[in-house]
């Protein structure tokens, strides 16, 4: 896991497999099917890294031979919350890893003029004692990411219960995010160079939602 001195709560998963798959995703002529599969595979690999610190407890189980106190994840389990619509491409990968996780949805779109998030849907599982993994592949301006964390925090979820999982982030967006939510950990596979005049990430990979769903 790599860190950038500017962003104390940003963790960059620099595993070679993740970096290789991300490079393939960036290519302009990668098909929708391959793009989607690669995002799922990367999310699964990132999910493995970010769940490393989940607290364990023990439960008594019987093996065919003896009874033991076996390690199991402590307390209430995970909730995965994709930010619609591109986040859906990541929640599939996470669900492969934690099939019993609850799934919420936060629907926001980016106003094309102001680039500010506009909410159109919030559906969440019960909130107590869960770890929430918010996911959105692209953290560009950071406004949707900040908004989604606000949605959880307004309902009483604490900073420590939230993990933000992205694929590619821009320094501008991470700055906005860390100013708003300095204690929330964010993970991404790449911290890219900058935003262009249309708030697209450079070098980036284009519009993640369009590339996942094959829309224009």
106 strand-pairing partners: 83, 122
Instruction: Please give the radius of gyration of the chain, using alpha carbons only, rounded to the nearest integer.
Output: 18
Chain positions 79 to 118 lying near ligand URA, rule: CB under 6 A, are 86
Chain positions 36 to 65 lying near ligand URA, rule: CB under 6 A, are none
Pairing of strands 56-62, 168-169: unpaired
Is 85 annotated to bind a ligand? Reply is yes
**Residue selected from 75, 208, 214, 215 as contacting ligand URA according to rule CB under 6 A:** 208
Q: Is 201 in the site for ligand URA (CB under 6 A)?
A: yes
CB crowding 57-67: b at 16 or more within 10 Å, else e: eeeeeeeeeee
Is 207 annotated to bind a ligand? Reply is yes
Is 166 annotated to bind a ligand? Reply is no
Residue number, 82 or 204, with CB nearest to ligand URA: 204
**Selected range binding ligand URA among 22-30, 145-153, 155-163, 197-205, rule: CB under 6 A:** 197-205
Q: Which residue has the tokens 């996942």?
A: 212
Is 110 annotated to bind a ligand? Reply is yes
Q: Is 25 in the site for ligand URA (CB under 6 A)?
A: no
**Catalytically annotated residues:** 110, 114, 207, 210
Q: Is 207 in the site for ligand URA (CB under 6 A)?
A: yes
For the chain, the farthest-separated pair of C-alpha atoms sits apart, in whole angstroms, at 65
Nearest distance in Å: CB 161, ligand URA: 26
Is the Cα dihedral 74, 107, 140, 173 positive or negative? negative
Nearest distance in Å: CB 19, ligand URA: 18
- 4 Cβ neighbours under 8 A, 6+ residues apart: 10, 12, 191
Per the annotation, binding residues for uracil are 201, 206-208
């Amino acid at each position: 896991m790599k860190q950038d001195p500017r962003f104390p709560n940003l963790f960059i998963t620099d595993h070679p497999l993740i970096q290789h798959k991300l490079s393939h995703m960036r290519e302009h002529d990668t098909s929708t099917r391959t793009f989607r599969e690669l995002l799922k595979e990367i999310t699964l690999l990132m999910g493995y890294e970010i769940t490393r610190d989940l607290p364990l407890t023990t439960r008594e189980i019987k093996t065919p031979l003896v009874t033991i106190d076996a390690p199991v994840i402590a307390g209430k389990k995970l909730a995965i919350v994709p930010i619609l619509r591109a986040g859906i491409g990541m929640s599939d990968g996470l669900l492969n890893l934690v099939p019993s996780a609850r799934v919420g949805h936060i629907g926001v779109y980016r106003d094309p003029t102001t680039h500010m998030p506009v909410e159109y849907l919030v559906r969440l599982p019960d909130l107590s004692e869960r770890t929430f993994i918010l996911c959105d592949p692209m953290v560009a301006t950071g406004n949707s990411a900040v908004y989604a964390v606000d949605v959880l925090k307004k309902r009483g979820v604490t900073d420590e219960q939230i993990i933000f999982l992205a694929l590619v982030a821009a320094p501008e967006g991470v700055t906005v995010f860390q100013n708003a939510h300095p204690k929330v950990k964010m993970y991404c596979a790449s911290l890219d160079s900058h935003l262009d005049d249309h708030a697209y990430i450079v070098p980036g990979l284009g519009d993640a939602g369009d590339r996942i769903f094959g829309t224009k």
